[in-house]
Amino acid sequence: MRRAVVTSAATAAGVVLLLSLKPHQATGPAPVIGSGSDTGSGPAAGPGSGSGSGSGTDVSGTSNTPAPSASAPAPGATRKVSGNTVNTRYGPVQVQVTLAGNRITAVDVVKYPNSERRDREINSSALPVLNQEAIASQSARIDMVSGATYTSDGYVRSLQSALDRAKG
């Protein structure tokens, strides 16, 4: 009888763990810029280091100071839009997106953790990957970089705020 109870409890715990896993999203058509608060991470050129892929939400918050935004651009015009500065455990992260019409053509990382040698090492690898992913996905729906979870989360949040500003 005792063995049956233990087995049932273990099975129930296993089912709960399996159901709590988030499936990897398949690559599909590029989402519309500023289509929501998508998160993820992707490659983009920028300073910093770190590599790997993982997820984490260990950020202390987002700056409420609005970044400069572009005025109503002509269709197809090139413009730069800055995202919010997002404070992470290791330092602030802020991106500036260059758009041609509604297409992301470049992402520059304006602020990123770089006070320590390890920060520079991690971000020098992670930020180019995040920049490439953002350009490839044309959204903030990009995968996190393992080993740079805090920076990845700050990057995605800042990128999404820039895309929201560009849209509205």
In this prediction, residues 79-108 reach a mean pLDDT of 93
pLDDT tens digit sequence for 1-42 = 888 888 888 888 877 766 776 554 444 444 444 434 344 434
Q: pLDDT at position 72, please?
A: 52
**Residue 84 pLDDT > 50, yes or no?**
yes
Q: How many CA atoms lie within 13 A of 124 on its CB side?
A: 8
Q: What pLDDT does residue 85 have?
A: 94
Percent of the chain scoring above 70 in pLDDT? 65
Residue 49, pLDDT > 60, answer no
Under 8 Å between Cβ of 98 and 106:
yes
In angstroms, the CA 102 to CA 80 distance is: 11
Does residue 56 register a pLDDT over 60?
no
- At residue 13, the pLDDT reads 80
**Mean predicted confidence (pLDDT) in 148-161:** 94
Identify the sign of the CA torsion 48, 50, 53, 57. negative
To the nearest whole number, what is the mean pLDDT of the chain? 74
Residue 2: its pLDDT value, please? 84
- The pLDDT, as a whole number, for residue 76 is 62
What is the pLDDT at residue 52?
38
Q: Pinpoint the alpha helices (H) of the chain.
A: 2-20, 117-137, 149-167
Question: 60 versus 80: which is more confidently predicted?
Answer: 80
What share of the chain in percent tops pLDDT 90?
A: 49
